[in-house]
Amino acid sequence: MPVLYGVKNCDSVRKAQACLAASRIDYRFHDYRVDGLDADLLQSFIDALGLDAVLNQRSTSWRQLSEEQKQDLSPERAVQLMLALPTLIKRPIFDNGRQLIVGFKPELYTLPND
């Protein structure tokens, strides 16, 4: 079953949910705050998409970090920050069973046999 990852109060996540509902695509919603986020799941996103695609450096959460937290950001440190603050992860991430899609791109919100 496809999985939509994000946080429920994100506008992009809401748009993605509406798109999936309109397309009558059954999916499971995984809210990082409710369902949790572990290092293995986060690393699987990074392995598939790359760190730059997963870490949202334009988010409010990023801007609220101290300069010290942002400097010399190693991949390991970035993972630790995202685990502590899941709102640093670009949203939504949609796993359609074939690929991971970052952000809301309605033209890509399909299932593998579409």
Tens-digit pLDDT profile for residues 53-92: 999 999 999 999 999 999 888 999 999 999 999 999 999 9
pLDDT band at 110 (very low <50, low <70, confident <90, very high): confident
User: Could you give the C-alpha distances from 42 to 25, 48, 67, 81, 113, in angstroms and in order?
Assistant: 24, 10, 23, 11, 26
User: Could you give the C-alpha distances from 22 to 33, 66, 72, 107, in angstroms and in order?
Assistant: 25, 41, 43, 13
Cα(44)–Cα(69) distance, integer angstroms:
23
Q: Which CATH superfamily is domain 3-108 in?
A: Glutaredoxin (3.40.30.10)
Phi and psi at residue 113, to the nearest 5°:
-90, 5
Q: Tell me if 45 sits within 8 A of 89, measured CB to CB.
A: yes
**6 pLDDT higher than 90:** yes
Domain-wise residue ranges, the chain: 3-108
> Which residues are designated catalytic?
10
**100 pLDDT higher than 80:** yes
Determine the average pLDDT of the residues in 11-27: 95
Lowest mean pLDDT segment, chosen from 8-17, 78-87, 90-99, 102-111? 102-111
User: What residue type is 9 in one-letter code?
Assistant: N
